[in-house]
Structure 1
Amino acid sequence: MFLNLLPEGSRIMPVHLDQDVVVTIHRNAAEPECSVCVGKAPDQTCDPQYQRLTYSPDMSVEFTCPNPQEIFKMDINREIDCTGTGCPANSVQTKDIFSDFNRTFTWDLKVLASQTFQLDFPEPGMRQIPEEETCPDSHTYSLKAYPRSGVTSLGSFCKGGPVTTMQVRFKGRVALQVPGGVKADPVVFKVSVGPETKSKHGLVLIIVELPRGVTDTSFFSADYRRQFPDDQQMQWNFSVPAMHNYSVLLLDHTAPECIQDTVVVQYQKENGKTLRLSLTDPQPQHQQGNFEMVLKNCQTNTSLPGLTFSYKVSVMRSGHPVVSTVDLTQQEGISLLLEKMSSDPFCEMRINSVIKEKILVPAGTKASLSFLDCPNEDVRLTATKAIGENSSCTYNCRSATSCPPTALAVPLLDFSLPVPLHSFTWNFTIPNNSTLDLVAPAGNLRQSIPGQECSQASSFRLTECDGTPIGDFCSSGTLQKIQVHANASITTPGRDLKRSIVPLLNVSVSKEISEGLIYTVIPDVSSVTTLVTPNWPNGMKKFSTVSWIVRVPDQYKALLKFVNVSRPKCSKLHANILVQMLGQEEELLSRQEGEEIEKELVVSNTFYLNMSNCKPETGHFSLLTDILVYFGTSLICLVCSYKKLTKENSAYITKGNIFRPSDRHFSKTRSENESHVYDSIDEFLVYGHLLDDHPYPDSLPSGKMQVDSYQTFTGATDGALPVIKEPDPEPETGQYKAFLAPSETFNPSRPHTPIQLQESLGFQDRRMVDNELYTFKSTGDIKAIRLSAVEPEASMSDDYL
């Protein structure tokens, strides 16, 4: 819509109306002379007082004066008939037209005589005001009903209040007044058919949701300042928040002279209890729970002043605050932080009588805390202890040599606080050119990774001082030591504040290391050890470095399998992966971000795996690798770790004693068990052709290993043969097993016969074939046994599953 200034001083505007909208133009000022004209000549009609506009595809309005907005006002009306199948959709949408004029948008609502129409207001609801007042945003709403006694004003309302719903019987009108020059921004309320009503005297039902906290809300009866209709009633349904008290106070009222019946203010609680009071009775005070309030008028003497009624409902908290005094003067370096985890104002926290959303109790101070209506889940309590040069604790560490080792344990914190401790954090500030060393009080540590998560009871989180995560860790693993070349934080889940716990970690400070993070790893020879980069599965911090020093025992080898490697595109420097044996210059593996990396790598001594990150342009740098340590050159340990052997398979070791140093010992003697008897050997377990570095090459023809016959070792024994201690049976897991359960068809066990140590790789212990069972009878000559003509070859990668 726009206005044009015509030479004659008239103003003309095009008007675009929806089909169900009617606009009425009223004069509201006597002067100056001005007419409003509709249509075009010769059919144009003009009137100085009134015009009614309905839908027309091409319509314009002309005013014969230059400032018609000072003379005329607009009533923009829409009828909403809900007597059929329901109310039409989008029935309360408003198009802002005639924005220069004072305008009243009206919606006429109608339902069947026995029904009500319902108005639902979106948040933040509506609040009632006296009819002579206007709303702060210049958008003032009013509601009228049409009972048989005549038009009745049900009240005026503004945006923002506890009124959420109104139900009016039969017919009514909603009006919105907007002054000229103010853009219309109405509340988009919903109109629907409400429930049926049997009472013929009910004007309106107003549903109110009272807010939490301390509030006072005012309400006014129908036709306030005039008189409430005879024999009519008005009802309010109040929803009171939990743990709050309400009180009703009459503000201003006049009592009519009743010809029949009396004026009653009736209250009904959720439990069905009804209370009937007069206008002079004390109204309910300090009550709890939802309630209904009904104002009923009598038949009055109309020649005298009638019933007027206004009141307020006051709400306040009913709970009692939990008070606690916190004294940190005896807790060196410890501070407390309490945070509200919910935005709901229902919970109220105070420190020294001041309400706070977040409370910090600094180290070395005292504070009085109170909590009102704060469930445990709405408040999080964390404790932090600062350790280092800038802290006030006794751990005053100015150099690596002056930093005493310390055992981390959550101290005794008995503050009688109503919320549990969520976590306890140690913040370490170490000197320059030094390193923070972390070890378990007993045993080793392990990192929590998907599929191998730590339990919350024994875990801790390690982060750098800038908040960069390193990882979650717990006890019972393969990490002997964690070294961090930075200030760091260690956080453990909270426990009972009133009970101290055993030490979580032993922490010390040592000399500077060359990497940002170093793990010392002692792999378990009976299972796979998994290593992951810091902040797994997310990427490493830019320009950061990490190393794993992997201890490999003598005569053992380690198989590295790079299971999951993610490498970035670098914008500065390179992302490197390096494998190198400790104390040697030769690099076993060195790859940058753009180079292909092997899937597997065998290392025969203690080594370190190093990773250094670049500044990624895209992607991130992360790695997950599995390490399996096996004895000597045999791959049987490797197979046993990934495949559960069947009953027909026996373990076979090609070199050295047939027992590993880590094996446990049988509790039974050899004569009491059949561990020395073999059921069968599956041919795929014979890996003689894979052995290299043979110490006795002359014992084999043509430099190759003899795999089709068995011959005993005939070298010198240097005296009596040792008696071999048998290990206890191991549980049936995927780990290495020296022997399997004997067959039920075994002959009775033979007496114990010591077996000579077999130091030669030329010794091939082939004592079974084709389900024929053989046992050692003596240390003398053993008859050769024919094996199958063809033995399958097995690769390292095929058995690594």
Structure 2
Amino acid sequence: MCGRSHGGAALALLPLLVGLLPLGAVAQVGRNSGADFDIFLPRGNNITVLIKRGTLTFCNIILQRKRLSSLTINPGERAIFSFDCPQPEKHFVLEVQKNIDCMSGSCPFGEVQLQPSRLPALNRTFIWNVKANPRVGLELQFSRPRLRQILPGDTCSDSVTYTISSSLEKTVVNIGTFCSNGTVSRIKMQGGVKLELYLPWDQNRNFSGFNITNHSSIKRLCIIESVFEGEGSATLMSANYPKGFPEDELMSWQFVIPPHLRASVFFLNYTLSNCEKKEERVEYYIPGSHSNPEVFQLGDQQPGNMAGNFNLSLQGCDQDSQNPGALRLLFKVLVQHLQNEGNKVYTVDLSKEKAMSMTIEPRTFKMSRSFDRACLICEGPRKCNPNVTLTAGHKHEISFLCDDMTRLWINAEKTISCTDIGYCTRKNYSLLVPSDIIQLPVELHDYAWKLLVPKDKISLQLTPTQKLQQHTHEKNCKTTFSYVLSSAGQGQNLHFGSFCPGGAIEKIQVKTNISVVLRTYSPGFSNESFRQGMTVTFIHSLKDEGVFTVTPDSKTKVYLRTPNWDRGLPPLTSVSWNISVPNHHVAHLTFSKDRMGVSCETGRAFMIIQEQKAKAEEIVSRDDEPLPKPKDLHHNFWVNISNCSPMNGKQLDLEFCVSLTPKKMDMTVIILAAVGGGATLLFALGLLACYAKKMSKKKKVSKGPAVGIYNGNTNTQMPGHVGKFQKGRKDNDSHVYAVIDDTMVYGHLLSGSNGSSTGPEVDVYRPFQGPMGDVPPSPPPICSRVSTRKLHPEDPLPFLLPESDGEPYTFSHPKPVEVKENRDNDIPLLEKKELENIME
């Protein structure tokens, strides 16, 4: 053992004669203020009794008809007194102090009894001051129940408290405060000892609970022995805690552990002083260790899973006199059985992982036992901790000291970041929980992937191994796990929802950074882990915050809802659903409510439905209009929902359902069509020929003619002149012309007498832009959104002419106007004779 050396042989200690009356002879005060108490202290026993007021009060001590606020009884004196109040225990405290001098005279030892007898039933403190040579070790032995150390300021359940301190070069060092029912069996100290025992007024205890014996020099401040007879834990602390540990001192703890149990040490709190010389450290003497003492810094992981007895020592240093700082240590020793899992070693290979970490930690668990076994995770034979973080780039060997593995769970996180767009777009990433994690006997709680991309330059596409179902109130996820998708960038607050396998969502596209969390809900995830997995690809930047590709099953309904269901879709956010309708089926689209329910502060919110076919018209509903009633859709279609800047309180949250039914065909019609198909075709061809010839000779029309505008860039040669049309009709501009109705040319003449215009309504035509399955319908600009047509929910599905950004023009809706017949305007560009020749 090393530490401050105190040379010299131990002084011979003589027996301590403490044959005094037991506390059982004490007269109780009760509630009788007139009771008299008689205390006699023999001369030479070095005992002093002090009775004093505990609080400011009007209660007094009556001694020889005198009223006193305090009373001191010295050795060789006798006092007969009483109190002038009915409950003196609320007003007075009593101290019994005994001095034991081992410096010059005899130094008795043995069992310490409480004395004197016949003390009033007041809150009382017994104090023993033992003076000894600094080179002499004294030992306090505590019979059952053993002691349990508590933090300064804490109280004991029965209020019986021991306070032990030591004298070190005229300085008092607090060893600690203790209650009953613990593991501390002995405390050895170098030099003088002061022990205080506090008893409440209603405690009839008649024994001190400890012995004093001599001991050889221990060459350190103190040694505390802690004995475990079974599973349990003990919290201990350095001397003078929470004040600083004495400078350059050494303190030790001895732990007695049954061989069939395992002990682990955890530092709960510590601070370091400012050292000028030496180094603050802790040392362990561990049975079977080949490197005793094993030296650790206070910030190191402390040993665990230790079998048998072991010692722990705290060594201070020479402190800076100007700025000493404070060395303090609070730690816990946990002793428990070796569990079955303690003999198994699991390998977690993260050597090929990057930007990934994994934590095994306690989950929220309500304890009900007096002693709670800890669940420890060990890396190696003795490095054990209640929680362990495993980092990427390494292979880890772990074992468990835990009687109930359900008290632990695993949380992992991995970051996938795209910095090189060219590289990212050529590479796919797999979101898959490694098999080394699945095979652990601990439940996986969360595995989170953070997917980061450059803003407005590239977007993300998630393709699950199995199609996903969105968790809704109407259709809950019943699998052991689900995916939680939410935005991962700063300032973003978009929760896309929870999704689990077994649905109709084939892929999810998101505009910017996203967090994908695989969250489990039962220990059965290992049996369902084959259903997990997603592939991440990087795609061109999206306009919508999210695009869901949905392929419904004809046997089940598909329920879908907008992101941020609990808080409402964020302002100015647009989300689209690309929904497929199989051949020979009809999709039935139903909204869960009649209106959007959002109140816009600025802008307008839109819901758009558009079939993916040529000339399909958009069905548009604004926030101030009813949503469409249930509709049947025969082709693949888009659903787009775009939010405005909503007012507080009324947010945009929509849910809709898609179901499929087979198309119903009348068999009679099919048979008739098959039988009469040939005859019908011949009849139609003959009718067409007659009609064409008749029209060429017609001289009148019932309505005014349309006025054509000649396109000068086209070839005006007659079709009969071969060679003039070198391109096909679809490749040149010969078919391009605009039509202006009469009302466009003469609309100004139709003004009313009051100056009001009765001209045609003019709308903006939006042409078809290409493959309808690639781009969702886009609403008008946020600040000036105007619906192309306000549709009643019961209107039939209209058709919309195709649109092209390069060829915008307006068209009119003429109102019926009677126009006088004009035979000369029937054929505006060709002579009638020429046309007749051509037709013939």
TM over 0.5: no
Higher helix share: 2
Which TM-score applies when normalising by structure 2?
Answer: 0.40
Which TM-score applies when normalising by structure 1?
Answer: 0.42
